[in-house]
Structure 1
Amino acid sequence: MSSYVRERTISCSSFTDPDSTRRRSSSRAIKRPKFDDELVESSLGSQSSAPFNKIRTRNPSLSTASDCSVSLPPTPVAPTEVKKRLPTKSTKKTRKSRRSQSNMKDLGRWKPTDDLALILGVQQTCDLVAVYKGMKFSCKFTMGEIQERWYALLYDPTISRVAQQAMKNLHHDQIQAVQAKALYSKAEEELLGTISSTSNPTLQTFENLLLENPSIFYSARTGKALFTHWQLLKQYHLLPDQTVDPVSKLDDITSFTDTEDQIQDSELYEKSEELLEHELNICSRGVKKEIKLVEEQVSRWQVVVDSVMGISPQDFDNQTLAVLRGRLVRYLMRSKEITLGRKASGNNVDVDLSLEGPAWKVSRQQGIISLRNNGDFHIANEGKRPIFVDGVPVLAGSKTKLNNNAVIEISSLRFIFLMNLELICNIKEQEAAKAAAAQT
């Protein structure tokens, strides 16, 4: 510590003659003595005795000394000690500020009405769990937060003092509203349980009960509040006379057959409503219409799927008389007469040529292909534009015979007509047998 010893030596030669250096002061009428005098003294930059004049004013006993040097006692100061002193003050301030901030956060979330409700709830039930389950605060608090707040009100003087002051500043109506929602103690519910559930008490009954037991009921209770709480107890079967032995309960339960006998079948059927039935009919019509449209589009999508997948089914089966095969679509003729054309609203045809390609030049009723009893197929043109069969035009209103592998061209749409010769031969034999049987 000897290296840090600091000595201060003050020369007193300048104090030998107090009148040699006259002190200057401010000449203002209204002045601040100390402030103005220091300003005047600081203006004397050339005089080196200014700092010592201050020492003389502070230590008047030194003015009597003459031509001597006064050495003050050494004051050992270690830098380590200085470092220890300075942070202690700052740390105390920071700790206080942090505590105040944490207290303000707690006070900001917990309102005075919440503190009052918490205190009343604990006084009534002596159970924080019951307060958590039965009390409704201004916001949702967890069980841990309620417990921490209660301990803070008990043991933290700062929070307790601020909370008490805030509760004192509450309006009378707010205090009454919180007191009206106070939880019921066990003693209060036992007194309410003395009233039987089978009786029909009135409001006067509960007012008399309140007057007879003022020390048990909370001071903010009213007859109407007691009546309402008793009704809740009765509704949830919490009154003492509503507790029934489980064995006796089983005896009172009716069997399923007895309940079924008591039910009348006429009560099970609901009366029909005309408006409801009308709406249901409209909905069913719309659904059926959509189903019909989907069924009509299935054939078109099937053609697209077959063309994409490269599936080429067999041309004939046991029911197909002929096939009108195009580049994309294959039409099957399973009746003795089919109609060709373009499908439109209000017009249905057996062969819709629009599935093969652009058919805006095709008439709605373009032609008819029919099978005669002798096994010959004929095509009749009923449209405006001609139909070409193997390059020969068939004009409107005329007809021609169709041969096997004949090429039919209708408005730039070309088809090959294929006949099921085996099935046609069988049909011819059946017709000949019928004719022979008719002649005999």
Structure 2
Amino acid sequence: MTRGTGGTAQRGRSGPDSQGLLDSSLMASGTASRSEDEESLAGQKRASSQALGTIPKRRSSSRFIKRKKFDDELVESSLAKSSTRAKGASGVEPGRCSGSEPSSSEKKKVSKAPSTPVPPSPAPAPGLTKRVKKSKQPLQVTKDLGRWKPADDLLLINAVLQTNDLTSVHLGVKFSCRFTLREVQERWYALLYDPVISKLACQAMRQLHPEAIAAIQSKALFSKAEEQLLSKVGSTSQPTLETFQDLLHRHPDAFYLARTAKALQAHWQLMKQYYLLEDQTVQPLPKGDQVLNFSDAEDLIDDSKLKDMRDEVLEHELMVADRRQKREIRQLEQELHKWQVLVDSITGMSSPDFDNQTLAVLRGRMVRYLMRSREITLGRATKDNQIDVDLSLEGPAWKISRKQGVIKLKNNGDFFIANEGRRPIYIDGRPVLCGSKWRLSNNSVVEIASLRFVFLINQDLIALIRAEAAKITPQ
């Protein structure tokens, strides 16, 4: 009985112990199986993420001890998370949905983000403002190019292409303001070699009006080839506009594109005036001109330094002459609306020489005199002596007499010049002495004391006058 009871007691004691061991073994196996399952799931996640390529390869840290984050790092990491969420909401990255939470590797990456500060998105980038300012700078520069205007640049380029000489350009071209030779050279080199200045100048020249460009091209200097062709036209001939038009057609490559027959005729007359044609020879100056003669010495005397000797006869003669001059002035003022001599300055593109009231034109280098009466006087005007043609407007006239000569139109349509001064008048190189007269033809060169003029006749009006005279003579 005792054994039986003892056996049953041992069995009852061993039952709960074995049950506890079984439970502990089952729990250990369960936890082991869970850890294996979690490791297999983490390995599958890593493999799938590497296959998709969503997570870039990052450098592993050599430090194994993880430290706690400070307060400022926590704040910065929260800002970085909010910025990544905003990016995910605006544009979903490939391989991730908008509602999915970041993985553990991404959390580690975000925790390291404070080392690279993220700039706030609403603040504008400073590079954009700089680009806008740089793009506005050339517009301000084009408004103020300095003393050189676009018309001056175009004049300079055309003149250099015609002459290939900056000295000739400086002497022959009339710019908007006065430039020195050094300034002209520096501007030309800047247009050639400075890309900023050349670009701005080209932009400004493209904005010029076509009429302004045509006016500038008409002022281009004549090249040596053009003057050589013009010099072949004889000085004794009477060339017309058709002659110069034919010259343009025969030599289109030699002449500038803006040349006209009228411009060629005007330049030919200027060349004839200065004896630059092939059949003209320059006459040497007389030897006695260099010596001071009596008349020149008399002109240099200052009358105020002389003693004032009272002469009643002379005063009476001066009074009579003064009355006569005043009477002539009144007559001229009454006839001023009918016949008068107009003085016009020659600047660049001058107006046409003739109109329906101009009989002839005495054309100089600086001014031109329009003859509108049948008789005009030439000389040097003073306070007490008023004449029709004041030659002092053309140049130095201290050697010219107060009344040097008279130009008259006969009834048959011929013009004659009479010398009434002390110095001779040269007509096409021939001297006309005091008291003599000479017939003037079209394009005659009139030279008075180193001042040269070209005498141009209005052929249409003179033809009408001759026809009127022919009708009157038979009656």
Same fold (TM over 0.5): no
TM-score normalised to structure 2 length: 0.36
Larger radius of gyration: 1
TM-score normalised to structure 1 length: 0.38
